[in-house]
Structure 1
């Protein structure tokens, strides 16, 4: 703790307490696998994108997200070595349900507006979360995040470009965006995780703050998201799905209706609209490409 408080970076080969190591493994494994699972809803739109330019854009984004996942799983794998575990263990934990992936990537993306909204608001929320960890006490994670966040900025601009094009289009296209926001609103609120531990029964965020992996609470990050994106949503003539939402000048906070946190717990237990289908796709891909891993792991014969 003295080293962390002094601003030093902890490296993979350094001694670290079990609580710190296990917190990092859980966080980084979840982040890495969420990048990979998060490519799946957008991957659905590669063959259906409305133009060649849009097709190339979303293909590049999917490729980036998979690369982020691979980078992060390498970081997690180094932390797992003392337990005799590796990347295969991470995939096994995903398929068994022990390793969770982000709630937003269990959801449906039935329209082109959803593809844009994922880039604009979901990746926008990710940037707010990840930039809060750019100075994380664990060096390998902090360094990986610098590259990831730089690329996520382009992803958010990609999504915003799609949304603005639709907003400047026909009434039907504008209605498509509104339907997408209505459908994704609760997932966006849930993105940052539950807030007050006294009401949600969670204190995991306190551990990450204690070890200076991040500096802000879930609720502070959610408030930052509101401040950045609510004016942008309204500027496009769109409506917030929550009629009670307002900014309170006295508290300096956004007042909003809480999502159903019970539903959140169900979704991350792989009971969301697309959970089973996306896990099945990932498992098929993992099994189909087993020969590649085996070939790479085989000794070279002269």
Structure 2
């Protein structure tokens, strides 16, 4: 590369950063650095696939919901999640256009294990309390993460999040309604909630990712903050979650499975037992309790609906 071209690229990067720092939105057809584009593709495609795969634990409860009202509520939530996935994959598709790739390539990457989805959606949901907890705490964690990116420098993603976050609020309220109904029920129902919390707590802590890149060897969170895709670190988001939900869990007379959990008044943050991050890496590598069965379901649907894609193409 000659000096003139190198200076030109440096100037373009400087102008790009000036736009970001001034609060301007980057659009799909604008020039962007390669690492910005790749960070967005990884983030948004993973987010999109997590919405699609995240519908599966609750889909399992559609035929088993305890009343018609609950059945209609969880069906509507599953439909919303699939719509979020569709919207996000369209956003990611625009970013991948220069590489000649689209949604079908992303789906193949998911099924081949090259595209990961969120750790929580590899887990089991064996009881109705699990279905409620997914809505209350998992979607609650998602709201904390996603609202942090409502001002993302990439315009199409920020605009998509406006709709997604609004609907996720209803999802969290739906889950909270299930949990409150169970909490006001029998001792067996309260025990079912407590059992679900005990099983889900490590996954909820893992939801936000490791505090430091040293844990996984990834500097993705540094890149997303550098380019103002988000503003808070993984640990800051986890602390926001703990501050919001620990009091709510305890107010129901429920406990959290961590004897070390306490609020440090000096540091103004929660101290907690670190989850097993080696287990986190194993889970997101499709070795979680329900990874294979949910991917098998997605592979089957993808194959059986190939004729629809051909007809639309």
Relative to the length of structure 1, the TM-score reads 0.97
Q: Does 1:154 align with 2:154?
A: no
Mapped partners of 2:155, 2:59: distance in 1? 31
> Which of 200, 207, 220 in structure 2 is aligned with 1:204?
220
* Residue among 179, 186, 191 paired with 1:170: 186
Summarize deviations over 1:130-158 as a string: whole Å, max 9, x none. 00000000000000000000000000000
| Contact 1:77 1:86 (C-alpha < 8 Å) held by counterparts | yes
**Alpha-carbon shift at residue 202 of structure 1 (Å):** 3.1
Question: What runs of 5+ residues in structure 2 fail to find an aligned partner?
Answer: 1-16
Match in the other structure for 2:281: 265
Q: Determine whether 1:123 maps to 2:139.
A: yes
Question: What CA distance in whole angstroms lies between the structure 1 residues aligned with 2:121 and 2:273?
Answer: 22
CA contact (8 A) 1:132 1:215 kept: yes
Aligned match of 1:30 = 46
Q: Is the 8 A contact 1:32 1:68 kept in 2?
A: yes
CA distance in 2, matches of 1:238, 1:154: 23
Contact 1:194 1:202 in 2 (8 A): no
Preserved CA contact (<8 Å) 2:183 2:190: yes
Residue 247 (structure 1) aligned with residue 263 (structure 2) = yes
| CA apart distance, 1:204 | 1.2
Residue 101 of structure 1, aligned match among 91, 111, 117: 117
Q: Give the equivalent residue in structure 1 for 2:8.
A: none
CA deviations 1:243-281 (Å, max 9, x no partner) are 110000000010000000000000000000000000000
CA distance, structure 1, for counterparts of residue 24 and residue 71 of structure 2: 43
CA RMSD of aligned residues (A): 0.7
Within the alignment, does 1:287 sit opposite 2:303 as a pair?
yes
Give the TM-score of the pair, scaled to structure 2: 0.94
The corresponding residue for 2:85 is: 69
Structure 1 outlier segments of 4+, above 2 Å: 196-202
> Does the 8 A contact of 2:123 with 2:288 survive in 1?
yes
Aligned match of 1:139: 155
Q: Describe the superposition over 1:156-201 as per-residue Cα deviations: whole angstroms up to 9, x where unpaired.
A: 0000000000000000000000000000000000000000234553
2:242 equivalent among 214, 226, 234: 226
Note the residue ranges of structure 1 that are not aligned, 5 or more in a row: 298-302
1:91 to 107, 117, 122: 107
Q: Map Cα deviations across residues 213-251 of structure 1 (whole Å, 9 max, x no partner).
A: 000000000000000000000000001110110000000
| CA 8–95 in structure 1, closer or farther in 2 if over 3 Å, else same | same
Tell me, what secondary structure is at the counterpart of 2:263?
strand
